[in-house]
Amino acid sequence: MTEKKILLIVCDGLSDRPAKEFDMKTPLQAARKPAMDALARHGMNGVMDVIAPGVVPGSDTAHLALFGYDPYKVYTGRGPIEAAGAGIAVLKGDVAFRCNFATVDKSMKIKDRRAGRIKAGTSELAQALTGMSIDGVTAVFKEGSEHRAVLVLKGAGLDHRVSDVDPHNDGKIRQSTPLAPKAKKTADVLNEFVRRSFDILSDHPVNKDRVKKGLPPANIVLPRGAGSINELEPMGVRIGMKCAAVAGVTLVKGICRLVGMDVPDVQGATGGLDTDYKAKAEAALGLLKTNDFVFVNVKAGDVASHDGDFRMKVRVVESIDMMLGMILKDLPDHVIVALTCDHSTPVSIKEHSADPVPLAISGGGGRVDGVKDFDEISAATGALGRIRGTDLMPIMLGMADRAKKFGS
């Protein structure tokens, strides 16, 4: 029995609702997508509540579920995922935060929550902050894109249950407060980090230069989204497969790194509407040579939905279909391909929704149902029925003849 490989392709937010203006079709129903339909026709289909019926999935919790982790057990906040995405190893006991560089006046009133969307110099600013030691805790700090950054506190006795410093509007910055008695030390360290960041950043040459040019100085750091990592067994160990991912967007990269996948940078994979589909297809095929499980995320559908652009979303479907076609053309034998979404993002509401997502799984000598098209309605009539996100990984492993027997 040859052990089969698995390719999981997740189309971020591609699942939708019917649009009145487009003949009551969803973007998937309106698009020309021969590769997706072929996959559906040659495999089994179903719909999936990625978290649970009636729960609107975030992209982070959704991907954890699709990778087989119960998000209610492992997810505490977005900080660790962003930090992992930025390449900082978040370990058990660490507390991680998403941060903004921002501009405040001397009374700590926010003048610009994004420091004029600062682009240059954040690496130098981060360098001035990282490694700071407060009360036995070390602060690891790293810049992200534009005004974004991540902070990871490392040390004994930390707890993620603290409130945000970021007020999420243009008021005064907030003192972080412990939301549980055990989190007092963390809140104290965090507040001290923010206080010192103001002193250090205010005097930094990058900011003196910005002020000279009439730009708002990035003179403070605003942490939010505290989270820690519970016992997260690496995916490779858990499923006994060498795992790699192709993803453009930082959040998804972060989740992949968090679960221990190899996530090489792919030139042109931007996580936006301009992503290079051909590069993603080639990267996926390349990774399949040296890995057992390859994951591909395409973000563009979600972006088109958040813009409320039905026609753009149809074009995204057709681009992803082209990518899938390239992959299927050169796909080695013994690879099971699963095509699905992490959540629905209906163009009509421009937000994630709780509507279940379509799912097609094909290859490896598995069963074939009578479904002919890959879309939200056709999939629901397929042989997979209605499953949950955390069921997907066990089902794929089963089809790959890698599932464990219970009993004898």
> Which chain residues interact with a copy of itself by CB under 8 A?
1, 17-18, 20, 24, 26, 47, 51-62, 71, 75, 78, 225, 346, 348-355, 365-370, 376-377, 380-387, 391, 393-399, 401, 403-408
The phi-psi region of residue 107 (left if phi > 0; otherwise alpha if psi is between -120 and 50; otherwise beta) is alpha
Q: Is 281 exposed, middle or buried (0-12, 13-18, 19+ CB in 10 A)?
A: buried
Complete DSSP assignment for 124-145: HHHHHHTTEEETTEEEEEEE-S
Identity of the residue, 4 or 161, whose beta carbon is nearer to a copy of itself in the bound complex? 4
Measured from the CB atom, the residue of 161 and 343 that comes closer to a copy of itself is 343
- CB of 60 or CB of 282, closer to a copy of itself: 60
Q: Of the two residues 129 and 399, which places its CB atom closer to a copy of itself in the complex? A: 399
For CA atoms 125, 128, 131, 135, give the dihedral sign.
negative
Report the nearest approach of a copy of itself to the CB of residue 83 (Å).
14
- In angstroms, what is the minimal distance from the CB of 385 to a copy of itself? 3
- Residue 323 or 379 with smaller CB distance to a copy of itself: 379
C-alpha span between 351 and 26 (Å, rounded) = 15
Strand partners, 334: none
CB of 339 to a copy of itself, least distance (A): 18
Nearer to a copy of itself, 1 or 120 (CB): 1
Closest CB to a copy of itself among 18 and 286?
Answer: 18
Whole-angstrom Cα distance, residue 114 to residue 109? 13
| Residue owning tokens 């002193």 | 199
CB of 207: closest distance to a copy of itself in angstroms? 30
Nearest CA among 205, 258, 301 for reference residue 12: 301
At 384, list the tokens.
């997979």
- Taking the complex as a whole, the smallest distance from the CB of residue 77 to a copy of itself amounts, in Å, to 9
Select 119 or 404, whichever has its Cβ closest to a copy of itself. Answer: 404
Q: How far is CA 337 from CA 29, 253, 380, 398, 400, in A?
A: 21, 20, 18, 13, 10
Q: How far apart, in whole angstroms, are the C-alpha atoms of residue 40 and residue 178? A: 50
Q: DSSP class of residue 93?
A: T
**Mode of pairing for the β-strands spanning 95-104 and 110-112:** antiparallel
Shortest distance, CB of residue 376 to a copy of itself, whole angstroms? Answer: 6
Pick 216 or 356: Cβ nearer a copy of itself: 356
Smallest separation, CB 17 to a copy of itself (Å): 6
Output the smallest distance, CB 336 to a copy of itself, in A.
Answer: 12
Q: How far is the CB of 3 from a copy of itself (least distance, A)?
A: 11
Q: Is 49 strand, coil or helix?
A: strand
Which H or E run contains 165?
none
Provide the β-strand partners of residue 152.
Answer: 96, 140
Between CA 337 and CA 346, with CA 341 as vertex, the angle to 5 degrees is 150
